[in-house]
Amino acid sequence: MEAPDTRPQDAQAVSNILVLGGGTAGFLTALTLRRRVPNTRVRVLQSSKLGVIGVGEGSLRQLPGFLHNYLGIDPKRFFDEVGPTWKLGIRFKWGERGDFNYSFAPQLDVVHPHPDLPRPLGFYCFDEMEDHCVSSVLMRNDLVYLKDNSGGMDIGDDYGYHLDNRRLAGFLERYALEQGVEIIDDIVVDVQTSEAGVAGLKLESGASLDADLYVDCSGFRSMLLGQALDEPFVSYRGSLFCDRAIIGGWDRTDEPIHPYTTSETMDAGWSWQIEHEHRINRGYVYSSDFLDDDQADAEFRAKNPKVTDTGQVRFRSGRYRNAWVRNVVAIGNSAGFVEPLEATAIAAICTSARALAETLSEAGGRINPTLQTGFNTHNARSWDSIADFLAVHYRFNKMLDTEFWRACHSDVDLRGAAPIVDYYLENGPSQLWRLTLEDPICRFGLDGYYTLLVGQRVPHARLGDMTLKEQAAWPKLKEATRRYAAQGYTVKQALDIVRAPVWQWQPQNFSNS
């Protein structure tokens, strides 16, 4: 006798998914769904008339593992067709120190095995934050990987990618087709709604489309979640004042390919530099409340005289209250956006796409309200944790004394970062109560916060609290680290190595996913 179906009667059956929007968000989501729920029909509706915003893109350290382990994309093919370069972290031209390295490898909450250095390294880095870890030495010397004992290349997994957004989106579209994703080229002219959410899409061609589940990857327009379903928007304006970006760049000549993204303080915001093999991409993220567009363009060009044509992007930082409403799930910029200071855009897409795919897989294609609530709670905390972290960048950056930065120092709301900052101010970069301070959903961790606070020379109550043994051991450790990391490969040399026919990628090169 067949067992009765005890699943909730209001569970939503999902066997047909329509992703609205291509680009990085749409195709990464479609590929993730095909990977985890292979028996589900997945279609992407995009318009070739809309195109892709051509900006340089940086990633966090989890992206290589997500692409090559979780999605199974061959790294050799990816390097051939997308042409990424490696990113060990961010070089901040920021704070009273003037500059410091924020690497993806653990930095300041590490306790070194040296017997005379019993505390986390952050306690020793306030006066001088160089040569304290291997990754920082590599970054300072424009080296990306160490030479191993046999003269080969020692690749770990503490790196992300620099990517050209157009090449990435083109590759993902081709790969999605190979994986059985259906792609429709058309434009939505009307969204039909019902009590269930979206009832169907009317297209410019005269055709209509419907699905069990709609994934909104329409970017800032948020055509389904924000417009059709009118989901409320939660603004981060109290912490993140910037709302516009100028983008530009130039063809690389003899400039070194840095193994990091540069984030440089500007009069009313900050400027990025992203490293491609044959091009340098620059952008200026600024607040229109403090600088008009012409002034921003003039400052950007004065800083970057090689820049040719420029473009502008307008945005608002925040998220929708819920990303999954009825039969619509928003992923990427249609669900939320925080400015690109920590290059979290692709990471947010991967996190949400994976969460959706795992939910569908776990539920056997039948979605109930508690699963949607879990997804929405995770999504909200994920976006909020990014905003919290970025607020620390602005509150304590005292490199420039301009109207914008004075407003940041006095008015930026630290939000959920306040307890970590308060703890640091009284205890320094201590690990003692990290389990009560860290949110497991936050991708930056206590080490990320401490790197920012120490990097910007935010004083704490434990300054100067170093024993004579620590004072003697600390410079010796830095000298040993400097010598160990001095021999390595530049990005150009490393690219030549991985392109050689004999090179073999190893699974441990992509263990972070």
The pLDDT of residue 7 is 38
B/e letters for 293-316, b = 16+ CB within 10 Å, e = fewer, are: eeebbebbeeebeebeebeeeebb
Burial class from Cβ neighbours inside 10 Å (0-12, 13-18, 19+) for residue 256 reads exposed
Q: Provide the pairing of β-strand 197-203 with 318-320.
A: unpaired
Burial class from Cβ neighbours inside 10 Å (0-12, 13-18, 19+) for residue 426 reads exposed
Cα 367 to chain centroid, rounded: 28
- The two tokens of residue 456 are 């910007």
Nearest C-alpha neighbor of 331 from the set 191, 465, 213: 213
- For every one of its 513 residues, what pLDDT tens digit does the chain have, with 9 covering 90 and above? 444 433 334 567 899 999 999 999 999 999 999 999 999 999 999 998 776 665 778 898 899 999 999 999 999 999 999 999 999 999 999 999 999 999 999 889 888 888 999 999 999 999 989 899 999 999 999 999 998 777 678 777 789 999 999 999 999 999 999 999 999 999 999 999 999 999 999 999 999 999 999 999 999 999 999 999 999 999 999 999 999 999 999 999 999 999 999 999 999 999 999 999 999 999 999 999 999 999 999 999 999 999 988 999 999 999 999 999 999 999 999 999 999 998 899 999 999 999 999 999 999 888 999 999 999 999 999 999 999 999 999 999 999 999 999 999 999 999 999 999 999 999 999 999 999 999 999 999 999 999 999 999 999 999 987 899 999 999 999 999 999 998 899 999 999 999 999 988 887 788 776
155, 145 Cβ separation under 8 angstroms: yes
Nearest C-alpha neighbor of 59 from the set 265, 451, 387, 350: 350
CA angle, 83 then 85 then 88, to 5°: 160
Instruction: Tell me the longest C-alpha to C-alpha distance in the chain.
Output: 79
Tell me how far apart the alpha carbons of residues 474 and 331 are, in angstroms, rounded to a whole number: 46
Mapping DSSP onto H, E and C, the string for 287-316 reads CCCCCCHHHHHHHHHHHCCCCCCCEEEECC
Element (H, E) at 64: helix 63-65
456, 396 Cβ separation under 8 angstroms: yes
For residue 211, how many other CB atoms are within 10 A of its CB? 21
The pLDDT of residue 358 is 96
DSSP string, 422-450: HHHHHH-S--TTHHHH--TT-SSHHHHHH
- The two tokens of residue 57 are 């893109």
Cβ neighbors of 124 (< 8 A, separation 6 or more) are: 117, 132, 466, 470, 474
R_g of the chain, CA atoms, integer Å: 24
23, 219 Cβ separation under 8 angstroms: yes
Mapping DSSP onto H, E and C, the string for 376-392 reads HHHHHHHHHHHHHHHHH
The pLDDT of residue 51 is 65
243, 312 Cβ separation under 8 angstroms: no
313, 244 Cβ separation under 8 angstroms: yes
Tell me how far apart the alpha carbons of residues 489 and 509 are, in angstroms, rounded to a whole number: 16
Domains defined along the chain, listed by start = 14-85+162-235+319-386 (3.50.50.60)
14, 372 Cβ separation under 8 angstroms: no
CA angle, 355 then 448 then 424, to 5°: 125
Cβ neighbors of 91 (< 8 A, separation 6 or more) are: 99, 100, 101, 102, 139, 258, 260, 261, 262, 263
Tell me how far apart the alpha carbons of residues 367 and 356 are, in angstroms, rounded to a whole number: 10
pTM above 0.85, yes or no: yes
The pLDDT of residue 346 is 94
Measured over the CA atoms of residue 277, residue 511, residue 482 and residue 260, the dihedral's sign is: positive
Residue tagged 């690497």 (tokens): 103
Tell me how far apart the alpha carbons of residues 44 and 30 are, in angstroms, rounded to a whole number: 7
Element (H, E) at 183: strand 182-185
> Helices 23-36 and 345-362 sit at what angle, rounded to 10 degrees?
30
